Chain A
Amino acid sequence: MSSSVTAAPEASKLAGEVDPKGYAAAVAKARGRVVLVNFWATWCVPCREEYPDLTRLEKAYRGKGLAVLGISIDSAKDLAAVDKFLAKMQPGFPNYRKASGGDDQIFIESVDKDWGGELPFTVLYARDGRKAKVLSGKQSYATFEAAVQELLK
């Protein structure tokens, strides 16, 4: 598993799997930066649509203090589709897959207690690790950028 939360040479492949504890650890590792976490799945059309904006945003703000993490909600049987998607998108940030097994409700509530489980879903953390904003559903580049800029101030 990659320990990097910035651009990694293997970022076009899954960096590993996360359970609630692993998720918290991945976010904590990037403390000191503004962290944007995007939850996506290959079967989720709006997720696929907004993903290129996230890769663009990460490239633009990587040097300004932003770390982006992707978390795929795809199941194990869709791993080939995940690999294909990441190979096509070439993200400059690590992507993990939610580990199989366990009750998804526990994972969902560990991320945000008000999250209903809808995808895509994005969580922004301030530099001090505080959860600062959540964005439900597909967002525009401008919305992502405004949220990041606000936290980078």
Chain B
Amino acid sequence: MKNLRTALSLAAILAIAGTGAALADGPAIGANAPSFQLTTIDGKPFSLADAEKSNKAVVLMFIATKCPYSNAYNDRMRQMAADYSKKGILFVGINSNNTEPEAEVKDHAQKNKWDFTVVKDPGNKVADLYDAKRTPEVFVVGPDGKLLYHGRIDENYEEPAKVTSPDLKNALDQILSGQSVAKTETKAFGCTIKRA
């Protein structure tokens, strides 16, 4: 009974904390994606809530400048962001690594010709809100603010031409065609997010 009371108290504390605290677990599929505001590497404000209102979906990608797994996807990220922006989906790169300063993130984005939104996440607050663990790691948020997909871009980081499971692309195509996402959670290897 005591354990039950403790559990209920903890649940109440977590409920009160809402999205303002770093929860132990990130949002579940179908739950509200935590709101946040950050500044882009171009110095512009970015608000997830605003982005949700003006897009059919928002793709949050936890990225890195030095992680080989993340860097293997640089071209795919640029291409997908370009392809899907035409269809009303916004791509946002989030760098939460405390070992990678904003100037380095900006330089990395320029070198890779990324023209999608990139934000620095000081103190890895957004990574904590989502319980993001690695780079690259993707969260797709629908226009109603619900989390629709969480996981990898695809299953083959080494050879883009040999991808057999383009999981992010499949999820986005299903969202655009009004279907439910068939495969909502996927996993891949990646680098640990270097937290402060």
Contacts and interface: CB of A to CB of B under 8 A. Distances in A.
Interface string A86-125: 0000000000000000011100110000011111100000
B172 to A, nearest CB: 19
A45 B100 CA distance: 13
A138 interface: yes
Contact of B187 (A73, A109, A120): A109
Contacts of B194: 46
B137 interface: yes
- Which interface class (under 10, 10 to 19, 20 to 34, 35 or more) fits B? 20 to 34
- Which interface class (under 10, 10 to 19, 20 to 34, 35 or more) fits A? 20 to 34
A43 interface: yes
Given A118-B192, A119-B189, A105 B134 contact: no
Interface of B: 66, 68-69, 133-134, 137, 152, 155, 158, 165, 186-195
Contacts of A44: 191
B193 A118 contact: yes
24 contacts: A43-B69, A45-B66, A46-B192, A103-B155, A104-B155, A104-B187, A104-B189, A105-B155, A108-B187, A109-B187, A115-B187, A116-B134, A116-B137, A117-B133, A117-B134, A117-B152, A117-B187, A117-B189, A118-B190, A118-B192, A119-B191, A119-B192, A137-B192, A137-B195
A104 B188 contact: yes
Contacts of A115: 187
Given A116-B134, A118-B133, A118-B134, A105 B192 contact: no
A75 interface: yes
Given A118-B133, A136-B133, A105 B188 contact: yes
B187 A105 contact: yes
A117 B158 contact: no
A118 B155 contact: no
B68 to A, nearest CB: 4
Nearest to A107: B189
B119 to A, nearest CB: 21
A117 B188 contact: yes
A109 B190 CA distance: 14
B96 to A, nearest CB: 12
A116 B187 contact: yes
B165 A103 contact: yes
Contacts of A75: 158
